[in-house]
Structures are given as structure tokens and as C-alpha cells.
Amino acid sequence: MAQNSYNEAQSPETSEPTESRPVGGNEFSWCKAVPIGTGVTVLSLLLSKPPEITILKNALHNLQNSHPILRSKLHLDPSTNTFHFLIPASPNVQVEHFDLASTASIVQAQSNGRDDPFHTLLEDQMNLDTWRDYEPRDLDVLYASVFTLSHDRFAVFLRLHTSACDRAAAVALLMELLRLFSDDGTGNIGEEKVSSAIEDLIPEGKLHKPFWARGLDVLGYSLNAFRFANLNFVDAASPRRSRIVRLQLNVEETKNLLAGCKSRGIKLCGALAAAGMMASWTSKGLPNYQREKYAVVTLVDCRSLLDPVLPSNHAGFYHSAILNTHDVAEETLWELAKRSYTSFVNAMNCNKHFSDMSDLNYLMCKAIENPGLTPSSSLRTALISVFEDPIFVDSGEMDGEIGLEDFVGCASAHGVGPSLALFDTIRNGKLDCACIYPWPLHSIEQIEGLVDHMKRILVEGCSSENQQTEP
């Protein structure tokens, strides 16, 4: 599927930046990953009322003033292969506006004939090659665009470089934007300073690991990767794009699922990971006794664990990853969910979210540089990725004020990463997971079938006869 050809709005030339800092190790990994397709964060709004462009622009400038990292530019020094955030003194984001004819042209060029235009544009935004090359000019970390789908449907998209805005920051940004947008785009939401990279804020002693132990862990991660089972690949040769399928539960189903997790002392991430592993194992039609080893990446928002502690809406990338493996055969949702979550908690208790950070970043960069080290050069590092905690959003009041019909927050994952990346939100009591996958490495039909099966596993696992806590 061809990349679209429309031009992105470029920020006007700005004066010399008043602040800059080098990127950290985690941020550097994303600077390497984004050009090959993983880490383009997209926040999307579907509106039934036409957005006022001036108000939207004012709101975005307000956000850039409050969160300086969002007005930064990424600068690559080719002589040292290092990146810096260059932060101008004033906000610079422009809003690119597409009328009905322009939007229809883009949708027609990108649509596969099956998807809603909003869905098509969301996928297209994830796959724009904004940061394919960091030279010869410095690139903004934030872009905005508005599309006219019809006389009563409009789509607003924010596209961000993940090194400057992780999932927690993106959702906080979205909620701040909605509040500003429902007014006149102005308002005092405070101003934060550009914090150091996550590696510089880890409490003393929790990052340390002896050299020999680090070497053994890197070797262990590398060797174990050869034993991982993957979701079957459909087309491992063609160029890839990120695509999305949504897993949605109603209020009652969501309530039962959360109650089932709470009664067993686990978090939702354990149940989602278990459902993904079970659906993948079942899709292969294996004998009941045959086990497969699946890798699960759990992403942890570390803001509350740093020194100093950062507020939950602090912009930047402050997540870490924990990689666990599980041998899966025929078993129940809650058995596997409990085992998956317990492994994650044990790793957290051993501070692996900090001590293994540089190891996983190193292996991620090595996979990017040498895709042949992964099965079929697929760049798959795990079966599934989940977040430790879901995002809870109550958008009821804003829905009517600005005509908000839908919103999705997710990031591309067709470069290095899992076969299925889950971005879970509980909006107005309903679970809504954006499931991102690499296409055509995995086909639309394959992932739709997998996600449908995951939903059945979750719903059936939470039926009344299974609500009792297992011993």
C-alpha cells in the first residue's frame, strides 16, 4: 500500500533554542526505532462538530508552553551518532487542514475498501514517514492535522515521536487538549521543566548491575529469544505497515472482567496477556499437551518510582519494559493470567524494570541493525505487549460539548516489536483496546480472528460460574 503523497505542514523557522539536552538510552532506542516503523504515537479524535482551527491551534500552543518537550526538535549529530532535544523558546506547531475533497482523495488512496474513513486515516497517520530521516534538518516531535470526513464528521490527529511522549503522557495530553478545546483554547494548566532522561532519575542503587551479571543477562535474553514461539507469519517479505483492530467490551463485560482480576489479586494486564497467548496457541491447532514458549512485554509507567517523583501528566518517555516468558498449552484464562501477572510482579520486586533497562535497549537496537537475528527477519521480539495499568477516562461531559464521538490513542509497531501491541483504555466503563499489528506479516483476517477469540476468552472466563476466586 503506497505511502500517501500530501505534504505535512512544516513549522516556521524559529530562533536559536533556549534549551537542549542529549537523549537518554531509552529515548535513543526510540530514535532508532521510529524510522523503521515503531514508535509513532497517534492521538485521534472523531467529532460531530467542526473544530475551530484557531481554538485548536491556541490549545496546542498552550500545551507546548506547558510541556516544553512537546515543542522540541530532534537533532542528529552524524559525526557522533547522537541525538539532542533542541527546545525553542516559543511554541511552533502548525495545524494542517484538509477539506472534504482532499480528505476523500487521501482516504480513497489508502483504503482497502473495508474500513471506516476514520479508521483508514488513523492507520495512515501511524504510517507517515515523518521521521524516516533525521537529516538534513531538525524535525519537530509534534504534528497536528484536521480532516473533513463529511458535513458532520471531522477527525483531529496529533502525531508524536514516542521518545518525547509515552502512552501515559499522550493520554494526559489528550485530556488536557479536550478540556482546552471545549473552552477557547486558553487556560492555565501550569508549566513544567524539561526533566532529565529516565536513566538519570532512577533511585540510587536500583540501576546497578555487576558487569558479569549484565553480560549473562544479555546472553540469556538473546538465547531465549531463539526458543520463543511466534504467531504464524503470513508474508514476511513484503514492506510492512501498522494496522489496527479494536477489542471492545460493553459495560457489564468490563465490570465482570475487572471484578475477576480484583478477586484474584491481579491486574488487567495479566488477563489481556493470557488471552493473547491462549488465542495464539489455539490458532495453531496443536495437541493439548504440546507447549509453546511465548514472550510478553509489560510496559511500566515509572513516574511515581523516580527520584524526584514526576507527576502523572509529565511529558516525555518514562516507561520501562519487563520481558517474561511463559510455556503455554491448554489451560484456563485465570490460571495463565495469575501465572503471567505473578512473573511480572516478581520481576518488579527484583527491580528488573530498572536494572535490565539498558540490556533490553541494547538488544532492541541490535535487532534493528540486524533483523536477520530474528525469525524470518520479522523483527518480532515478543508475541504481545501490554501496559501494567489501563487508562481510565470519563469523557461524558466533553462528548456533548465538542461533539466527541470516538477517540483512539496508539502507536505504530511494524518495525521492531511484538506481533500484537495492546493499548487499553476504559472509557466510560467500557474496555476499548487498540490492537496494533504489522501487516502483511500478519493478515487482517488472522488478527481479526485472533482478537475475536481473545474477546471470547475474556468474556467466557468472566461468566458467573467462573467468578469465584480459584485456590
Residue 8 forms part of a structural domain:
no
Whether the per-residue pLDDT at 8 is higher than 60: the answer is: no
**CATH code of the domain containing 242:** 3.30.559.30
Residue 186 forms part of a structural domain:
yes
Q: Do 329 and 289 contact (CB within 8 A), yes or no?
A: yes
Domain identity same for 263 and 185: no
Residue 102 forms part of a structural domain:
yes
> What is the predicted pLDDT for the residue at 469?
46
Domain identity same for 240 and 186: no
Give the mean pLDDT of the chain.
Answer: 88
Domain identity same for 220 and 286: yes
Q: How far is the C-alpha of 382 from the C-alpha of 419, rounded, in Å?
A: 7
Residue 426 forms part of a structural domain:
yes
Which residue reads 483504555 in cell numbers?
425
Q: What is residue 146's three-state secondary structure?
A: strand
Domain identity same for 303 and 383: yes
- Binned at pLDDT 50, 70 and 90, residue 399 comes out as low
- Residue ranges making up the domain that contains 250: 199-404+413-466
Long-range contacts formed by 17-20: CB under 8 A, 24+ apart = 17/72, 17/73, 17/86, 17/87, 17/88, 17/89, 18/87, 18/88, 18/89, 19/68, 19/87, 19/194, 20/75, 20/84, 20/85, 20/86, 20/87
Residue 133 forms part of a structural domain:
yes
Tell me how many domains the chain contains. Answer: 2
> What is the predicted pLDDT for the residue at 212?
47
Domain identity same for 186 and 283: no
Model's pTM, two decimal places? Answer: 0.92
> What is the predicted pLDDT for the residue at 465?
43
Domain identity same for 208 and 180: no
Domain identity same for 86 and 219: no
**CATH code of the domain containing 123:** 3.30.559.10
Which residue among 139, 166, 198 closes a domain?
A: 198
The phi and psi torsions of 130 (rounded to 5 degrees) equal -50, -45
- What sections of 136-186 are H helices per DSSP? 167-181
Beta bridge partners of 462: none
Whether the per-residue pLDDT at 14 is higher than 50: the answer is: no
Residue 168 forms part of a structural domain:
yes
Which residue among 141, 176, 198 closes a domain?
A: 198
Domain identity same for 162 and 228: no
Domain identity same for 212 and 182: no
Residue 9 forms part of a structural domain:
no
Beta bridge partners of 325: 295
Domain identity same for 225 and 329: yes
pLDDT in tens, 198-257: 999 999 888 666 554 555 555 555 556 667 899 999 999 999 999 999 999 999 999 999
Q: For residue 316, give the nearest of 410, 194, 408, 189 by alpha carbon.
A: 194
Q: In percent, how much of the chain has pLDDT > 90?
A: 72
